[in-house]
Amino acid sequence: MTGHDVRDVALADHGAMRMEWAERDMPVLRSIRERFGREKPLKGVRVGACLHVTTETANLMVALQTGGADVFLCASNPLSTQDDVAACLVERFDIPVFAIKGEDSQTYYSHIQAVLDAGPQFTMDDGADLVNTLHTERSDVLHQVWAGTEETTTGVVRLRSMATAGVLRYPIVAVNEALTKHLFDNRYGTGQSTLDGIIRATNLLVAGRVVVVAGYGWCGRGLAMRAKGHGADVVVTEIDPLKALEAVMDGFRVLPMAQAAPIGDIFVTATGDLNVVRGEHFRVMKDGAVVANTGHFNVEIDIPALEALASSHRTVRDFVEEYQMADGRGINLLADGRLINLAAAEGHPASVMDMSFANQALSLEYLVGEGRSLAPQVYDVPQAIDQQVAQLKLAALGVGIDELTPEQVEYLKGWQQGT
Ligand code: ADE
C-alpha cells in the first residue's frame, strides 16, 4: 500500500473546520507546536503513529510535523476514525494516513503494516497493536526503531508484559502514567465522552436509571461520577478490594456483577479485562438492557455468548444491535462492544487531549534527545514534563497558584518543630 488510504479526500474541508475547532481548546499543544516551529527538535525523524484518528490527534500530527518530523498515521481502532479528519491530514498537510471508519480487521492490520513499511524510527501507539505487529511480524523494520511512546492503560499493561518476558526490543515511554494524562483524560475525558456516546447512540434518559459501571479505575471513576451527575442510580462492580472500598466511600453501591445484572438498565465495562459481562449475566438481564464497553479492546463483553443465547438480532438504530432472547427479552449491544465514546461520539474533548498529547509531543522530543541510549524497558514520563504540562495548562486557563515562602521551605525541611 502506498500514499494513503482514507474514505474520501473530498471530506477534507469539513475535517479542517472541525480540526480548527478542536485546536482552539488545545493551548498547551499550540504553545509546543509554536516552539517546535522555531526549534525543529524533530528534524528528519520518521514517526509511525497508531492512534484514534480524531481532530485532536490531527492537531498532534501537525505539531510533530511542524517540529520537523515525517509522520505516518494509522487507526488504533477500526471504529474510531473520523473520515473527514483523515482526509484533511492527507489533503491539507500531506500526511500519509491509513484509516477508514468501519474497516474490517484485515484492513485494520494492513493499515498498520503500511505505517511500518515507512520504516519509522519512533512509534507512537495507543493500545500497542503497532508495537505488537512490529515485534511479531516485522523484524525487518524492528531493528531501526529507536524508541516509542504509548498512550493508554491497556497498551502499558501489554508492554510491561513484553518487558517482563524479555521480548521488548526498544524503550517506550508510558504517556498514560503521567499524572497530567490519566487524572484528566482517563477520568474526565472518559467520564464525559462515554456518556456522550451512550446518549448519542440511544437517546435514552439517564436520570432514574440503574447504570452499572464495571471497574473503578480512573475511567470507571470518571464515568460513575458523571452518571451520578445525570441522576442515575450508579452501581459499581470491582475485583480489587481497595477500589471497591473507594467506590463505597464515594457513595456508590458496590455489587458483584451477578447481583447487578438483574437490576441494571445500562451496563458499561471499563476494566481492560476479558468477558466481564457474560452468558450468566445476559441470562438474567432485564428486557431492554443496554450493554456498552469503554475499555480499549472489544473483549470485555462476551459477544459470542450473547449470540449463542439469542434467537436473532437486528440493528435498531445506528450503533445499537438488539439481541432477541428465546424468552422474549431484548438486550441492546452498543457499537459491537467497541469503545463507545469513540465509536458513537467523538472521543475525549480537546481540552483533556491537550494535556495527553502535550505529554506525547514532549516525550517524543525527550526520546529523540536520548538517541539510542535507553535500555528496552517501559519508562515513566519524566516528572519535569508532567510538571511543565500542568503549569502550561494552568497558565492557559488563567489560574494562578501560590509559591512557598522561604520560611515554609525551611519548615518542610526541618524536623525539630512540633506541637
Ligand atoms: N482517546 C480518547 N479520546 C480521544 C480523542 N479525542 N483523540 C484521540 N484519542 C482519544
CATH at 322: 3.40.50.720
CA of 56 to the centre of ligand 1 (A): 7
CA of 240 to the centre of ligand 1 (A): 27
Tell me, what's the pLDDT at 43?
Answer: 98
Tell me: do 128 and 211 sit in the same domain. no
Dihedral in degrees, nearest 10, Cα atoms 53, 58, 64, 70: 60
CA of 124 to the centre of ligand 1 (A): 14
By most ligand atoms within 8 Å of CB, the mutation choice from 57, 152, 184, 338 for ligand 1 is 57
268 CB under 6 A from ligand 1?
A: no
Amino acid at 312: S
59 CB under 6 A from ligand 1?
A: no
Dihedral in degrees, nearest 10, Cα atoms 385, 386, 392, 395: -150
State how far the Cα of 342 lies from the Cα of 234, in Å rounded to an integer. 22
Amino acid at 390: A
Amino acid at 150: E
80 CB under 6 A from ligand 1?
A: no
Cell of 215: 471497574
Tell me, what's the pLDDT at 210?
Answer: 98
pTM: 0.96
CA of 278 to the centre of ligand 1 (A): 27
Cα 120 to the center of its chain, rounded Å: 22
Tell me, what's the pLDDT at 214?
Answer: 98
Q: Is residue 410 part of a domain?
A: no
Tell me: do 25 and 170 sit in the same domain. yes
**From atom 8 of ligand 1, which residue's Cα is the shortest distance away?**
52
Angle made by CA atoms 105, 19, 83, in degrees to the nearest 5? 25
Tell me: do 264 and 195 sit in the same domain. yes
Q: Is residue 419 part of a domain?
A: no
State how far the Cα of 71 lies from the Cα of 89, in Å rounded to an integer. 10
Tell me: do 175 and 246 sit in the same domain. no
**From atom 9 of ligand 1, which residue's Cα is the shortest distance away?**
52
Tell me: do 271 and 375 sit in the same domain. no
In the block, cell 520560611 appears at 407
Which of these, 135, 138, 118, 136, lies nearest to 172 by C-alpha position? 135
Tell me: do 35 and 85 sit in the same domain. yes
Q: Is residue 167 part of a domain?
A: yes
Tell me, what's the pLDDT at 16?
Answer: 98
Tell me, what's the pLDDT at 347?
Answer: 97
Q: Is residue 314 part of a domain?
A: yes
Tell me, what's the pLDDT at 4?
Answer: 97
Residue 54 CA: nearest ligand 1 atom is 7
295 CB under 6 A from ligand 1?
A: no
Tell me, what's the pLDDT at 35?
Answer: 98
154 CB under 6 A from ligand 1?
A: no
Tell me, what's the pLDDT at 2?
Answer: 67
CA of 318 to the centre of ligand 1 (A): 21
Range of the domain at 169: 9-181+348-397
Tell me, what's the pLDDT at 239?
Answer: 98
222 CB under 6 A from ligand 1?
A: no
By most ligand atoms within 8 Å of CB, the mutation choice from 54, 193, 340 for ligand 1 is 54
Tell me: do 284 and 357 sit in the same domain. no
Tell me: do 235 and 334 sit in the same domain. yes
52 CB under 6 A from ligand 1?
A: yes
Which of these, 105, 147, 164, 106, lies nearest to 297 by C-alpha position? 105
56 CB under 6 A from ligand 1?
A: yes
57 CB under 6 A from ligand 1?
A: yes
| Burial category of 396 from C-beta neighbours within 10 Å (exposed 0-12, middle 13-18, buried 19 and up) | middle
Q: Is residue 416 part of a domain?
A: no
Q: Is residue 413 part of a domain?
A: no
Return the half-sphere exposure (C-beta side, CA atoms, 13 A cut-off) of residue 296. 22
Listed residues 326, 343, 360: the one ending a domain = 343
Tell me: do 248 and 319 sit in the same domain. yes
Q: Is residue 148 part of a domain?
A: yes
Mean pLDDT by 10-residue block, N- to C-terminus, for the chain (419 residues)? 91 98 98 98 98 98 98 96 98 98 97 98 98 97 97 96 98 98 97 98 98 98 98 98 98 98 98 98 98 97 98 98 97 97 97 98 98 96 98 97 97 92
For the chain, report the end-to-end CA distance as a whole number of angstroms: 72
75 CB under 6 A from ligand 1?
A: no
Tell me, what's the pLDDT at 327?
Answer: 95
In the 3-class helix/strand/coil scheme, how is the chain assigned residue by residue? CCCCECCCHHHHHHHHHHHHHHHHCCHHHHHHHHHHHHHCCCCCCEEEEEECCCHHHHHHHHHHHHCCCEEEEEECCCCCCCHHHHHHHHHHHCCCEECCCCCCHHHHHHHHHHHHHCCCCEEEECCCHHHHHHHHHCHHHHCCCCEEEECCHHHHHHHHHHHHCCCCCCCEEEHHHCHHHHHHHHHHHHHHHHHHHHHHHHCCCCCCCEEEEECCCHHHHHHHHHHHHCCCEEEEECCCHHHHHHHHHCCCEECCHHHHCCCCCEEEECCCCCCCECHHHHCCCCCCEEEEECCCCCCCECHHHHHHHEEEEEEEECCEEEEEECCCCEEEEEHHHCEHHHHCCCCCCHHHHHHHHHHHHHHHHHHHHHCCCCCCCEEECCHHHHHHHHHHHHHHHCCCCCCCCHHHHHHHHCCCCCC
* CATH code of the domain containing 168: 3.40.50.1480
Tell me: do 104 and 216 sit in the same domain. no
CA of 80 to the centre of ligand 1 (A): 9
25 CB under 6 A from ligand 1?
A: no
348 CB under 6 A from ligand 1?
A: yes
By most ligand atoms within 8 Å of CB, the mutation choice from 56, 125, 150, 194 for ligand 1 is 56
State how far the Cα of 336 lies from the Cα of 326, in Å rounded to an integer. 21
Count the domains in the chain. 2
Q: Is residue 409 part of a domain?
A: no
Tell me: do 325 and 377 sit in the same domain. no
Tell me: do 309 and 286 sit in the same domain. yes
CA of 328 to the centre of ligand 1 (A): 38
